[in-house]
Amino acid sequence: MSIKNGLAVLVSFQSRELELKCIDSEIADVERERAAARAEIEAAVGEVDAIRAALEDVRSAAKRLDIDLKSAEEKVTKFNDQMLTVRTNQELWAIQEEIGHAERAVSAVETKILEQLENEDSLTVSIGQKGNELTHVRESVDAAIAEADNKEAELISVKAKVDDALSTLQERIPEDLMKKYGNIKMVRGGLGVAEILDEICLVCNFKMRPQLYADTFNFTDIKQCENCGRILYVAERLGITSGVDSAQDDIAAPNSDQPVDSEPATAGDIAS
């Protein structure tokens, strides 16, 4: 395989790897969206459960108050019965005082029972409202999860195609070039190939020597950036769109009249 063809395949291979990385990132985003949707349901369910638990507490407290009320009323009855047996004013005053305490206790318990009934009514209304909200949340979340599932399925399908393309491309890349690319990529954060434009490495922005640019332009050999060590290529010589053009949105690819196999350039010509 010629140096030119090897570089062309390697650049395409890196492009596919970056595409695969983006797909994996999108799949991770979908899973986060799905997790957030599920968390929304859990939060809504938690609110309803909390209100139901509070309602159960109120009802349990109401039962205890009913017992307290019955006990207080029994005391009032007991003291009223005892009044029939008093013999002295002192005993009468004592019984009347006990009756007063018992009646106030009855009144206090009745007040608490009324408060608990109001709380129970309020919580019952809240459960109805939160239950309706939960129904709407479930519908919204179910739709969001279904959309996320569909999106994930599409991404997985695209990923499978990119994986196949990567395997095909890798088979075409010379073993020594693939090994060099892998080593550079491992050291340089996932990018083993860099475009050179106007003697500038577009990844690390290092300005090359004119001769290095000329050698890269003319496919003299596989050349590497003197600063970052990445394998260099000139986009127009491979017949592909420059990364600078791609970043500028809809800027046309290199002039189709420009032959890919143009005459070799000298260091002086390129530098001028």
Set out the domains of the chain in order of their start, with CATH numbers: 3-172 (1.10.287.1490), 175-271 (1.10.287.1490)
**Considering the chain, what is the average pLDDT of its residues?**
86
Residue 228: CB atoms within 10 A of its CB come to: 18
What is d(CA 93, CA 170) in angstroms, rounded to the nearest whole number? 106
Question: Which residues, in sequence order, are bridge partners of residue 232?
Answer: 194
Query: Residue 241 corresponds to which amino acid?
Result: T
Least confident interval from 66-70, 78-82, 93-97, 253-257: 253-257
Give me the pLDDT at residue 258, please: 34
Q: For residue 61, what are its two tokens?
A: 């407290």
Q: How many CB atoms within 10 Å of residue 85?
A: 8
Average pLDDT (64-89) is 84
- Rounded to whole angstroms, the Cα distance separating 194 from 14 reads 10
pLDDT of residue 180: 95
Strand-pair partners of 245: none
Residue type, 178: M
The strand pair at 193-197 and 231-233 is best described as parallel
> From CA 7, how far away is CA 194, in angstroms rounded?
11
Confidence (pTM): 0.67
